[in-house]
Amino acid sequence: MQLRYGFRPYPNGRQCAALARAFGCARVVFNDALRVREDARAAGLPYVPTAELSKQLTAAKKTAERAWLGEVSAVVLQQSLRDLDTAYRNFFDGLKGKRPKMGAPRFKSRKDTRQSIRFTANAGWKITPGGKLRLPKIGDVSVKWSRTLPSTPSTVTVVKDSAGRYFASFVVETGPCEVLPETTPEIGIDLGLGHFAVLSDGEKINSPRFLRRAERKLKKAQRALSRKAKGSKNRDKARHRVARAHARVADARREFHHQLSTKLIRENQAIAVEDLAVKGLARTRLAKSVHDAGWSAFTAMLEYKATRYGRAFVRIGRFEPTSQVCSVCCVKDGPKPLHIREWTCGACGTVLDRDINAAVNVAKAAGLAVTACGAQVSPGLVPAQRGEAGTHRDGQPTVVGIPVL
């Protein structure tokens, strides 16, 4: 199993300049290679392989126009070529139906707000005994370590986001996962906008609505940005203020998702959720609220944490009539408008809460054993458990925390 761990490095002024130089060189190499392949396609020539692009890169570093490419680690430039290969492969796989469709690779701009470079083991990067991250031709960068890596990573990706923050991202291979003690509760979850989540045991979790609560500050920052002259230093500062405001909203939402998903995984043996059509809902008048909720990120956290800690996670089809079927007598009485939050079943006379009823039906569709509103659900099959064991950098076993994405 692969896990991604993210940490905050704090480079000084000289290191920030070196990182900016590395970002720029990686971007130029990517654009040069993309231009070669696009020119070959336009001329009707065969696809240019990566080996040929690498030879052209080596020759370009010896010319006066591209001699400055030698100021950064060669591994960073080679990884930029591999990123281009990945972009092409994803594009072609989308055309073949192997993955969701995505656009063809595009040229990168120096004005792009997110930039990244990657160092492999060949680059000679390492974590020093003093806890600093040593990057070739950049130096020893101070890092705030919030947890211990479970094993020695082979690569590190340094990212600068639109808010000007730096992140060091490590992807590590882990062994069998750390299985939590077995527990009895098994729940279904109905995700919504009025309440972020309603559980089949009757618990309702309010939606924090981070974006809605921060809208006033965001509007003020965006209005100030619109008044700044294009290309000015003040406009760049205003853009960073807007980006930082959005980053605070995203960080708060991510922290809420992590805390809730971890709580549910620890307290329940099996969890079922509905596979929502988020892309379709994001094209309606509820788009802002849908994006503010972040259902996809939350369910993705539940899924990987369930795999990691030996819990069962089930997605049911989005076309299951969870809001149309009585969870007590299982009689389907048709769709209901959104303003109807409670109704009485015409067959058994039970007064049903719309959200709790849907959560119980989600659990039923997944085959979980849940009791709510008098409905008994038969137990179903639970996937085999898997575990994770980690090690310190010095080889000693450790229990790791929840990784940040």
Residues 139 and 191 in one domain: no
Which residue is catalytic, options 32, 186, 274, 292? 274
Residues 130 and 250 in one domain: no
Measured distance CA(20)–CA(3) in Å, rounded: 27
Assess if residue 14 is contained within a domain: yes
Measured distance CA(221)–CA(158) in Å, rounded: 28
Residues 224 and 361 in one domain: yes
Assess if residue 384 is contained within a domain: no
Residues 231 and 106 in one domain: no
368 and 272 Cβ atoms separated by less than 8 Å: yes
Measured distance CA(206)–CA(194) in Å, rounded: 7
Which residue is catalytic, options 83, 186, 292, 355? 355
Residues 211 and 258 in one domain: yes
Domain boundary among 138, 173, 208: 173
Is 394 a catalytic site residue? no
Residues 196 and 146 in one domain: no
311 and 388 Cβ atoms separated by less than 8 Å: no
Cα–Cα nearest to 81, from 135, 37, 17, 126: 37
Residues 156 and 192 in one domain: no
Measured distance CA(120)–CA(184) in Å, rounded: 44
Dihedral (CA of 27, 29, 35, 37) sign: negative
Cα–Cα nearest to 190, from 63, 74, 299: 299
Residues 56 and 157 in one domain: yes
Measured distance CA(247)–CA(218) in Å, rounded: 11
In this structure, what DSSP letter does residue 168 have? E
Measured distance CA(144)–CA(10) in Å, rounded: 8
Assess if residue 398 is contained within a domain: no
- How many structural domains compose the chain? 2
Domain extent for 242: 186-376
Model pLDDT, residue 382: 34
Which residue is catalytic, options 32, 83, 186, 190? 190
Total-model pTM? 0.81
Measured distance CA(400)–CA(397) in Å, rounded: 9
Measured distance CA(2)–CA(42) in Å, rounded: 39
Residues 217 and 355 in one domain: yes
Assess if residue 307 is contained within a domain: yes
Residues 156 and 206 in one domain: no
Q: How far is CA 101 from CA 34, 58, 88, in A?
A: 20, 34, 12
Assess if residue 351 is contained within a domain: yes
Assess if residue 390 is contained within a domain: no
Measured distance CA(317)–CA(152) in Å, rounded: 39
Assess if residue 325 is contained within a domain: yes
Q: DSSP letters along 309-369, please?
A: HT-EEEEE-TTS-TTTB-TTT--B-----TT--EEE-TTT--EEEHHHHHHHHHHHHHT--
What strands, in cross-sheet order, belong to the sheet with 195-199? 204-206, 195-199, 186-191, 270-274, 312-316
Residues 143 and 226 in one domain: no
How many other C-beta atoms lie within 10 A of the C-beta of residue 141? 21
Residue 301, phi then psi, degrees to nearest 5 = -65, -45
Residue 273, phi then psi, degrees to nearest 5 = -135, 160
Dihedral (CA of 345, 351, 354, 359) sign: negative
Is 161 a catalytic site residue? no
Per-residue pLDDT of the chain (405 residues; tens, 9 = 90+): 788 899 999 999 999 999 999 999 999 999 999 999 999 999 999 999 999 999 999 999 999 999 999 999 999 999 999 999 999 999 999 999 999 888 999 999 988 889 999 999 889 999 999 999 999 999 999 999 998 888 889 899 999 999 999 999 998 887 656 788 888 788 899 998 889 999 988 899 999 999 999 999 999 999 999 999 998 999 999 999 999 999 999 999 999 999 999 999 999 989 999 888 888 888 888 899 999 999 999 999 999 899 888 888 999 888 888 888 888 888 887 788 878 888 888 778 788 888 888 888 888 877 765 444 333 333 333 333 333 333 344 444 333 333 443
Residues 221 and 367 in one domain: yes
Is 274 a catalytic site residue? yes
Assess if residue 405 is contained within a domain: no
